[in-house]
Amino acid sequence: MAPQDLIAPPQPAPDVPVAPRVHIPFDNSYARLPERFYARLDPTRVASPRLIRVNRDLATLLGIDPDALETPEGVEILAGNRVAQGSEPIAQAYAGHQFGGFSPQLGDGRAILLGEVVGRDGQRRDIQLKGSGPTPFSRRGDGRAALGPVLREYLISEAMHALGLPTTRALAAVTTGETVLRDRPLPGAVFTRVAASHIRVGTFQYFAARRDMDAVRTLLDHAIARHDPAAATAENPARAFLDGVVARQAELIARWLLIGFIHGVMNTDNTTVSGETIDFGPCAFMDAYSPGTVFSSIDIQGRYAYANQPRIMQWNLARLAECLLPLLSEDADVGMASAQEALAGFVPRFQAAYLNGLRRKIGLTTEEEADTALVEDLLERMAENRADFTLTFRRLADAAADPAADPAVRTLFQDPAAYDGWVENWRSRLARDPAPPAARRAAMRATNPAFIPRNHRVEAALSAAVDRDDLAPFEELLAILARPYDDQPGREAFTHPPETVDPTYQTFCGT
């Protein structure tokens, strides 16, 4: 059986009209790849689409008139009821390791890539609908999305962007006027996601598992042109590409840890070669610092716990390297050595990015060998005393400038003496750092957010939208999270963890 035969032929959608007046400047390079890379099909129509919101700033960056997207015709496009001119809708093929077990065919089971645009900044990005109906990859799923997961992805992805992390983004969300069945009937919605690309480690795995090396080479050339153009002229383009992915992911995982983010489902199909965070299903942010924190309901063994994320990412990258082995060298031994050398670069890159980030979080602008022990000591004391991760570092900014602010940090520790046992060593180290106190405080506040998507706040916003059709809490939280490093008078309560911690709190995949 030929590789392309493994994809079931798409079923035509009933009379999806082309929208002629909403201009989206599509230029669809992925749809020009061989047909076995995807299935061509239109989104499935919905009953009664209603706009939740359009990300107007992002639309403008993409070269799309946000006013046009908010018209009835624009909403029809965002719901999948119309196809914009220039769009070539496809569902992408990919495989993936899910919790360590390999699935040779996954693919876009409830998503359709509408196409690509080159924005006003010169960057090429995908525009994808999620919840747009069944595809040949749906595996008996309904291809739809519920309102709660759509709003969660909107909130978290835009929060990650505001925090300064590489991430997919939210262009729009609409309700469908239909019900989807999960654990209970829920209102349906469609999410419009923007990404540097949707090329995943699992995309390479899809073709490598079929021993379709022509496709792997084609995909590599496409990914290099899109994400690592300098690698095209390198002595070994495959190795240069692999080095680039390793570097991007090492930086990304360090930045996840530095803001207390737990992805929750770090499968290889959720690992992009662009280095962007993707898929915000069972993700969450820590309140009290605990390296073993797991929120995902499906991560029963804690594979993707907070502290495990660096190790898991290196494991995922090893799966990418396996796909590229024949392209790294015609000599199998040489190719293996090259892959191992590239993968070995992950740990020092991650450790350097993580330690440098921790230095910034505690106000250091210079490096000393003992800095590692200093920050590890703080983290150990935080873990032993259930200190809030975000608030501890935010309040340290004030304490760095004035010891009179120490009490606000001490109160975050179950035993305040634990902070006292660390703070004098910290102040001794600050005394050897040249940054003036005011500048140090400003720099720390610029790297330690006051506002993160607190789980209880996210859940409250989603509950209001799903259960009461009240989007006001969602809009308020979205506005707050757009300015995570700023003081926002009157919104101080949004910086706080919940008064009562639910030890059974879990997050769920949206499928």
**Active-site residues: which are they?**
269
* HSE-CB of 170 using CA atoms within 13 angstroms: 27
- The amino acid that residue 352 corresponds to is A
b/e map 234-263, b = 16+ CB within 10 Å = eeebbbbbbbbbbbbbbbbbbbbbbbbbbb
Distance CA 340, CA 325 (A): 10
Are residues 45 and 16 in contact, defined by beta-carbon separation less than 8 angstroms?
yes
Query: Coil, helix or strand for 147?
Result: helix
Q: Which residue has the tokens 């359709």?
A: 112
The residues pairing with 115 across neighbouring beta strands, listed in sequence order, are: 127
Query: Coil, helix or strand for 186?
Result: strand
Q: Please name the helix (run of DSSP H) or strand (run of DSSP E) that holds residue 19, with its range, or none.
A: strand 18-19
- Give me the phi and psi of 118, to 5 degrees please: -100, 115
Are residues 314 and 346 in contact, defined by beta-carbon separation less than 8 angstroms?
yes
Are residues 410 and 420 in contact, defined by beta-carbon separation less than 8 angstroms?
yes
Q: Please name the helix (run of DSSP H) or strand (run of DSSP E) that holds residue 306, with its range, or none.
A: none
Distance CA 297, CA 506 (A): 5
